[in-house]
A and B are shown apart, each in its own frame.
Chain A
Amino acid sequence: MTTAPGTAASEAASTATARILHDTLHGTARGVVVDSPPGAGKSTLVVRAAQELVAAGESLMVVAQTNAQVDDLADRLATADPGLPIGRLHGSDSPPDPLLDGHPSILKSTKAADLAGQKVVIATAAKWAYVKDVERWRHAIVDEAYQMRSDSLLQVAGLFERALFVGDPGQLDPFSVVGADQWAGLSYDPSASAVVTLLAHNPGLPQHRLPVSWRLPASAAPLISDAFYPYTPFRSGTDHGDRRLTFGVPCDGTGPDRVLDEAAASGWGLLELPARHTPRTDPEAVRAIALVVRRLLDRGGVAVSERGTSPLTPDRIAVGTAHRDQAAAVRAALAALGVTGVAVDTANRLQGREFDVTVVLHPLSGRPDATAFHLETGRLCVLASRHRHACIVVCRAGVAELLDEHPSTEPVQLGVTVKFPDGWEANHAVLGRLAEHRVRWAP
């Protein structure tokens, strides 16, 4: 019985991919937009599209947002097709990952002219912005387009004739360190997302979405889909029971162990500490996170999935926070417990990454107020959608009441499409679900 939904999911996904590739290769529109929920095979799609375009005799440019994304894409492309001549364009003070040295098909340079012979040239948007006086590419692929700012697209859009824009609309929106309210509502608001501007000026562009998340387990996909993608639902590629998380060491009855058991059984766990207003680096919450991770490793976790059976090692675990100082505090607490190799970072930096188990410090835990930053939908979405097996949230009690005291008060700007769901509602949806998997613990 467990194979049937998987097959249906595969079919839905391949139908979507076929349509996207058809529009990219044979469509008449200058742009194609693909919305991809977390773990829906966005990178695989980009690699496929690049391969097919090259096979059709085209050469293309690929735009990603960070050097890490560019290196990752180049690595994937070269691995998928070792014969494909790839150019990695980079800045003079940001050399590419040494990982790329293992691919003889990747040529690296700081000048676009040196890479003219390569079929695929990859760089960050910031680097592309400096490229001048080159022949226009017929095709481009813009990856993480929802995290790209409109002004950044403005700088590079002159380099290509048509493009495939791929991204996840549910993740963190791009931001600016200075106010940009004066342009709110303009179709080309430079601080808005590139896709928003693109669609405002080209409303007829074909829009597709990838319908299946291969990362999120069956326990997580419905919640993430309902809470963050209410109008573009997706499903998980695996069914309940396809993935299992087990421990070799039994529960010792403490809060961290009990929440681990809950998360292993249901995919979600909420370790709720007593209500309290705390500084951002809440020492008790930080220590609770460190203990959860320590026990996760000590109890000999084993992850069973469609990819096989593997022990839960530190590199398969991540801790997510809202602020950098919180991440630093967690790193210090983990080091004190002798844990190394676990990724600890903010939502911004965890975007696009995947782990078996994630431990999250709730952005609103212990806060006296709920600001727009902490309510941002994308922040919670990123933190709650990095895992293949289970997500454990550590939080002070009282967040639901805090939310009720702080309804969204962002001004409504004329001409700006109101984003649904807002962070307030998404937070409540996630909290409501987490409450079913609550373990109360006073450390």
Chain B
Amino acid sequence: MSLISTLARAEAVAAGRAAPMATVRHRHLARQPMVLVPLTTAGEVGAPLGALVGTVREEPRLLVVPQPRDRDLRFAFLAELAGAVLPYLESYADEVEIEPATRAREEAEVCADAPQLIVPNSAAVAYVRLLGRSTRFRRTAEEDPDTPFPVPARVPLLGRWLTHYGERARTPGSSLLLAMTDLLTRHWATGQSNLEDQHLGALLAWIDPPDGMTGPSAARRAESARGADGLLLCPPAGPATDPAFDNTRLAPAMKRYDAARDSAAEQAIRELVASQLRPTWDAVWHGLDLLDALPSGGHVEERWKRDRWSYTGHRDRVRAGEPPQPRRDDAIAAAAKLAGRETAQVRLEAGEALDDPLVMAGRRLAGEAFAGEVAEVEMAYSEGKIPKPRPLVTVLTGDRPHLDPDGKLFRALPGGKTQGGVFAGWAGPGAAVVRLVNGMGRGREPEPGSVPEKGDRVCWTLFEHAPRGGAELPDPEDTPWTHGGPPATAGADGPDPVTPEDVL
């Protein structure tokens, strides 16, 4: 944990409510996000119990599986979920912008906006991935009339989209699929542990306690207070349910449903599941309100554009009739994803620091940046045939950066560009000398405004602002011998063979 987050948490404990970790919002929020609150069945991996889904706060759509062990009901649920989610996901597919050609690529179209899914917590993100994995390889009767357990149309397509969103969510800074607890903990620090922060109710209690309550007491109430009926006042945000609810309410209701199989028994279960889902639904929208109140960070739009590219790319793969995402990445795909995410992580950290003085303060405390006033500017030139300006700027700072001799430094210029410098040494205690090496134009004299003047406030970072990705990877068919050679292609991802366990 960084020093500044330790400090923020200590402040939260002292104040009895959450302390801000950011002054701007660092993630994109869509104008009309889709909120999805899934619940799963205890003891049955991948058997959904129900969900609330929708784009309008007042009109959640309730989906319930009255008997999750019944495969037909399970797939009816997934078909219904596809009916709720896919139209939303596809509604952004046709409005496009044209991206002009660059040196690296041809002219291309990118969707003007992209759909955004919000779930309560990171366990729900994992559940979205699980749903994607368990449905994208299913076959429909239209695709293959002989398939033993056909699923309703569009369910495999839902699986492919959920897989794409779940996978994209692993990219740092992406906003296609967001967990509310991650969003809130990025922007506020509470006085409780990281584990407790995973409880959406307790987290919101710290950030925005009800009138007359402090953060800790409201959080304790959210975590453990039970009503006269023995049920939690604030049910868990899922996907797991409260065991007391399972035992005392859900199990008897399911027993009645199994016996009767009528709409009255089904309606009883629907109401029970809704009672567990609705508080979480409201909590997610409460969180969205809190985040909406923060102004958007400067680099958020740029990151969202990458999400739009990601959405457009998947739209194109679906339209081109490509098969579902493979079960496992091959060597090249895995390396490409890891490299992309590492670049995204560095870019995200730099972007957040540049957008937000509070985040930059954290980097300064960590010795990765320093700010101060320019005390002196001494003009100097590089050696060589054509001398170039290399002014020496002395910055007085109270920060203690971990500077290496000749270490690279970066400074954001007002126009959004970055100026590079090199640490030239300490001129005295707290007086760092930086040699500017670029960002001053092409002439012998630096362009006006490109060199800071005495008395200016400047902030230099030790980290790059816009890191490049690494070298290209080979094509999959050129996978070298050290990595097993080219992957086997056709048929590798066919359905699993039927084993005796499948027909138990």
- The answer to whether B335 touches A190 (Cβ under 8 A) is yes
State A154–B332 Cα separation when bound (angstroms): 8
B329, B346, B472, B482: the one contacting A157 at CB < 8 Å is B482
Contacts of B320-350 to chain A: CB distance below 8 A: 328-332, 334-335, 338-339, 341-342, 344-346
Contact code string A195-224 (vs B, CB < 8 Å = 1, else 0): 001100110000000000000000000000
Q: Which residues of B contact A155 (CB under 8 A)?
A: 335, 470-474
Q: Which residues of B contact A189 (CB under 8 A)?
A: 334
- Residue A153 CB within 8 A of the other chain: yes
A158, A186, A190, A325: the one contacting B480 at CB < 8 Å is A158
* Complex interface: stretch among A82-90, A171-179, A233-241: A171-179
Given A190-B338, A325-B402, is A197 in contact with B345 using a C-beta cutoff of 8 Å?
no
Q: Which residues of B contact A178 (CB under 8 A)?
A: 170, 172, 338, 341-342, 344-345
- The answer to whether B338 touches A130 (Cβ under 8 A) is no
Shortest distance between the CB of A385 and any CB in chain B (Å): 24
Given A177-B342, A190-B335, is A154 in contact with B473 using a C-beta cutoff of 8 Å?
yes
- The answer to whether B345 touches A177 (Cβ under 8 A) is yes
A153, A183, A328: the one contacting B367 at CB < 8 Å is A328
- Residue A180 CB within 8 A of the other chain: yes
- Residue B366 CB within 8 A of the other chain: yes
Task: Please name the residue on chain A nearest to B337 by beta carbon.
Answer: A190
Q: Which residues of A contact B471 (CB under 8 A)?
A: 126, 129-130, 155
- The answer to whether A182 touches B480 (Cβ under 8 A) is no
- Give the total of B residues in contact with A, Cβ under 8 Å: 33
Contacts of A119-166 to chain B: CB distance below 8 A: 126, 129-130, 150-151, 153-155, 157-158
- The answer to whether B338 touches A154 (Cβ under 8 A) is no
Task: Please name the residue on chain A nearest to B332 by beta carbon.
Answer: A154
- The answer to whether A190 touches B402 (Cβ under 8 A) is no
State A186–B483 Cα separation when bound (angstroms): 11
- Residue B478 CB within 8 A of the other chain: yes
- The answer to whether B481 touches A202 (Cβ under 8 A) is yes
Q: Which residues of A contact B346 (CB under 8 A)?
A: 177
- The answer to whether B482 touches A201 (Cβ under 8 A) is yes
Q: Which residues of B contact A198 (CB under 8 A)?
A: 482
Contact code string B466-504 (vs A, CB < 8 Å = 1, else 0): 000011111000111111110000000000000000000
- Residue B249 CB within 8 A of the other chain: no
Given A151-B339, A189-B334, is A183 in contact with B480 using a C-beta cutoff of 8 Å?
no
Q: Which residues of B contact A180 (CB under 8 A)?
A: 338
State A88–B341 Cα separation when bound (angstroms): 31
Q: Which residues of A contact B172 (CB under 8 A)?
A: 178
Q: Which residues of A contact B482 (CB under 8 A)?
A: 31, 153-154, 157, 194, 197-198, 201-202
State A202–B485 Cα separation when bound (angstroms): 11
- The answer to whether B402 touches A154 (Cβ under 8 A) is no
Shortest distance between the CB of B457 and any CB in chain A (Å): 24
Task: Please name the residue on chain B nearest to A329 by beta carbon.
Answer: B400
- The answer to whether B481 touches A154 (Cβ under 8 A) is no
State A182–B133 Cα separation when bound (angstroms): 13
Shortest distance between the CB of B172 and any CB in chain A (Å): 6
- The answer to whether B338 touches A188 (Cβ under 8 A) is no
Contact code string A267-310 (vs B, CB < 8 Å = 1, else 0): 00000000000000000000000000000000000000000000
Q: Which residues of B contact A126 (CB under 8 A)?
A: 470-471
Given A179-B170, A190-B334, is A325 in contact with B367 using a C-beta cutoff of 8 Å?
yes
Contact code string A85-104 (vs B, CB < 8 Å = 1, else 0): 00000000000000000000
Instruction: Say what secondary structure dominates the interface of chain B.
Output: loop
Shortest distance between the CB of A243 and any CB in chain B (Å): 33
A157, A182, A191, A324: the one contacting B170 at CB < 8 Å is A182
- Residue A187 CB within 8 A of the other chain: yes
Shortest distance between the CB of A89 and any CB in chain B (Å): 13
Shortest distance between the CB of B35 and any CB in chain A (Å): 25
Q: Which residues of A contact B345 (CB under 8 A)?
A: 177-178
Q: Which residues of A contact B342 (CB under 8 A)?
A: 176-178
- The answer to whether B481 touches A151 (Cβ under 8 A) is no
State A325–B400 Cα separation when bound (angstroms): 10
Q: Which residues of B contact A190 (CB under 8 A)?
A: 331, 334-335, 338-339
Q: Which residues of B contact A188 (CB under 8 A)?
A: 330-331, 334-335, 483-484
Q: Which residues of B contact A202 (CB under 8 A)?
A: 481-482
B331, B332, B338: the one contacting A176 at CB < 8 Å is B338
Task: Please name the residue on chain B nearest to A324 by beta carbon.
Answer: B402
A129, A157, A176, A183: the one contacting B483 at CB < 8 Å is A157
Shortest distance between the CB of B421 and any CB in chain A (Å): 13
- Residue A30 CB within 8 A of the other chain: yes
Given A177-B342, A183-B334, A189-B334, is A158 in contact with B470 using a C-beta cutoff of 8 Å?
no
Task: Please name the residue on chain B nearest to A130 by beta carbon.
Answer: B471
- The answer to whether B328 touches A154 (Cβ under 8 A) is no
Q: Which residues of B contact A158 (CB under 8 A)?
A: 474, 478, 480
Q: Which residues of B contact A150 (CB under 8 A)?
A: 335, 483
- The answer to whether A186 touches B328 (Cβ under 8 A) is yes
B329, B341, B367, B480: the one contacting A154 at CB < 8 Å is B480
Q: Which residues of A contact B481 (CB under 8 A)?
A: 30, 157, 201-202
Contacts of A287-346 to chain B: CB distance below 8 A: 324-325, 327-328
Task: Please name the residue on chain B nearest to A189 by beta carbon.
Answer: B334
- The answer to whether B335 touches A201 (Cβ under 8 A) is no
Shortest distance between the CB of B280 and any CB in chain A (Å): 26
Shortest distance between the CB of B191 and any CB in chain A (Å): 17
- The answer to whether B338 touches A191 (Cβ under 8 A) is yes
Contacts of B433-487 to chain A: CB distance below 8 A: 470-474, 478-485
State A73–B175 Cα separation when bound (angstroms): 45
- The answer to whether B338 touches A201 (Cβ under 8 A) is no
Given A126-B471, A328-B367, is A201 in contact with B484 using a C-beta cutoff of 8 Å?
yes
Q: Which residues of A contact B402 (CB under 8 A)?
A: 324-325, 327-328
State A160–B331 Cα separation when bound (angstroms): 18
State A180–B334 Cα separation when bound (angstroms): 9
B366, B473, B478, B483: the one contacting A201 at CB < 8 Å is B483
Task: Please name the residue on chain B nearest to A156 by beta carbon.
Answer: B480
Contacts of B88-116 to chain A: CB distance below 8 A: none
Shortest distance between the CB of B9 and any CB in chain A (Å): 14
Shortest distance between the CB of A160 and any CB in chain B (Å): 9
Q: Which residues of B contact A327 (CB under 8 A)?
A: 402
State A280–B402 Cα separation when bound (angstroms): 15
Q: Which residues of A contact B334 (CB under 8 A)?
A: 151, 183, 186, 188-190
- The answer to whether B366 touches A154 (Cβ under 8 A) is no
Task: Please name the residue on chain A nearest to B471 by beta carbon.
Answer: A129
- The answer to whether A154 touches B474 (Cβ under 8 A) is yes
Task: Please name the residue on chain B nearest to A159 by beta carbon.
Answer: B480
Shortest distance between the CB of A131 and any CB in chain B (Å): 9
State A380–B202 Cα separation when bound (angstroms): 39
Q: Which residues of A contact B331 (CB under 8 A)?
A: 154, 188, 190
Contact code string B168-179 (vs A, CB < 8 Å = 1, else 0): 001010000000
State A237–B121 Cα separation when bound (angstroms): 57
Shortest distance between the CB of B72 and any CB in chain A (Å): 32
- The answer to whether B338 touches A325 (Cβ under 8 A) is no
Q: Which residues of B contact A324 (CB under 8 A)?
A: 367, 402
Task: Please name the residue on chain A nearest to B400 by beta carbon.
Answer: A328
State A180–B172 Cα separation when bound (angstroms): 12
Task: Please name the residue on chain B nearest to A30 by beta carbon.
Answer: B481
5 nearest CB pairs, A to B? A129-B471, A157-B480, A151-B335, A188-B331, A190-B335
15 new A-B contacts at CB < 8 Å, known A153-B482, A197-B482, A201-B483: A30-B481, A129-B470, A154-B335, A154-B482, A155-B472, A155-B474, A157-B481, A178-B342, A187-B484, A189-B334, A190-B335, A201-B481, A324-B402, A328-B367, A328-B402
List, sorted by A's number, 8 A–B pairs whose CB atoms are closer than 8 Å: A155-B335, A157-B481, A158-B478, A177-B342, A201-B482, A202-B481, A202-B482, A324-B367
Question: Which residues from chain B sit less than 8 Å from chain A, CB to CB?
Answer: 170, 172, 328-332, 334-335, 338-339, 341-342, 344-346, 366-367, 400, 402, 470-474, 478-485
